[in-house]
Chains A and B, each alone.
Chain A
Amino acid sequence: MSLFTDIGGEPAVNAAVDIFYRKVLKDDRINRFFSGVDMEKQAAKQKAFLTMAFGGPHNYTGEDMRKGHAHLVAQGLNDTHFDAVMEHIGATLTELKVPANLIAQAAAIAESTRKDVLGK
């Protein structure tokens, strides 16, 4: 069994996107990076990101991650913001009652994008 199936597949991602994005928008540490962006397009991107973190199918390369976040790095995106997002991923999965060992695996995948997202 893969992590993606264990977590609950696409229905789990769908449930997670709304909860996760709501946490992000309410968080004054990071919500300025999301203002002025079409919410629906943004939600679709969050879904793609969470699918990847949950071990699901994706075709993102490190280069895609760099390009996609370069404009945010220019606006000051740094480790503290990345930490906040990691916190919300964990809290979302906890809220969905995903077992701790699976949350740890998903967090490790998300964490592996840190350097590329922050353009380091």
Chain B
Amino acid sequence: MAKVIYGGQSYECGEDSVLDCLTAQGVPIPSSCRSGNCQTCLMRAVKGKVPADAQAGLKPTLAAQNYFMACSCHPQSDIEVVMPEAGINRLAARVASVEYLNADILGIRLNPSRPLEYRAGQFINLFKDDVTSRSYSLASLPALDEPLFLNVRKVPGGKVSNWLFEKLRAGDEIEISEATGDCFYVPGNAGQDMLLIATGTGLAPLYGIVRDALQNGHRGRLVLYHGSYDAGGFYLAEELRELERKHPNFSFVPCVSEGIAPAGYEQGMVLDVALRDHPDLTGWRVFLCGNPNMVSAAKKQAFLAGASMREIYADPF
């Protein structure tokens, strides 16, 4: 008989769903439709096998992280489950290097004290002290065996970013969290076209995701738009131009929203330029990272332009 392990307790599941099994024992799990659609009862398995039925209709990035719907999960073998936001541990990391990527953005490379499981585009929390932390996206790629690579923008009055700009040196030891987030590349459908739009350090996750897709042999078009007020706001542009030369299916389009765009740059708001170039997104996979207003507008416009809701991945920050 399959057991469900939750919060250190073990429950006999019988024929019941994980939701019924836990709620019958007085464990409060939010739920609504109870038929595998509304995703209110979303949970995550940390051990054991999730039956495919419990992931039907979930976004591929959620399924890849063992998220499932408790109402339609009838485990065949023992399974340990947590609430979606739980189970993110902390660990130490050594600073490998710190460099300016432009006047306002710091590139930080970290070697974690133990191997960290993550996907390019997910984020970690970086701790200044026990209670003060900020989330930063991973621009690095586990498959290329680099140290973790973060891009930090100097936020006026920002407690953590100012501390990082002023104090952080190679060799320092800091505390980070495990990686989380569902904005990343899932291999498969290699011929699918992909649109990626970033403002500011929203480029970090997309720089990781683009290279992850190319590393996995993605053949469809990968079109990356990066927006900034002026030409001084860009970074990693040389690396992206180099990727363009190596991979004919990848193109990088920097967009300047104010003032005159220099040669090689597009003029206009990044979202407007991207949708002007690609007005029909039917069948596309879309990634949106950066300014929350841009991300929220882009989500809606990409959907209205024909992208399926399940194929739109977003990370506002």
Contacts and interface: CB of A to CB of B under 8 A. Distances in A.
Contacts of B34: 58-59
A25 B300 CA distance: 9
Contact of A44 (B37, B56, B299, B300): B37
B35 A25 contact: no
Interface residues of B, number: 17
A39 B299 contact: yes
Contacts of B59: 40
B38 interface: yes
A21 B32 CA distance: 20
Nearest to B299: A39
A41 B39 contact: yes
A47 B37 contact: yes
A18 B309 contact: yes
Contacts of A41: 39
Contacts of B57: 10, 14, 47
A100 to B, nearest CB: 26
A13 B57 CA distance: 10
B265 interface: no
Q: How large is the interface on A (under 10, 10 to 19, 20 to 34, 35 or more residues)?
A: 20 to 34
B308 interface: yes
Contacts, number: 52
A64 B33 CA distance: 9
Given A17-B309, A18-B309, A48 B32 contact: yes
Contacts of A22: 303-304
Interface in B288-317: 299-300, 303-304, 308-309
The secondary-structure label for the interface of chain A is helix
Contacts of A17: 309
Contacts of A60: 33
Contacts of A59: 33-35
Given A17-B309, A18-B308, A47-B57, A39 B300 contact: yes
A15 B94 CA distance: 48
Given A10-B56, A22-B303, A39-B303, A51 B309 contact: no
Given A39-B299, A43-B309, 4 more contacts: A10-B57, A40-B309, A41-B39, A58-B37
Interface of B: 32-39, 56-57, 59, 299-300, 303-304, 308-309
Interface of A: 10, 13-14, 17-18, 21-22, 25-26, 39-41, 43-45, 47-48, 51, 56-60, 64
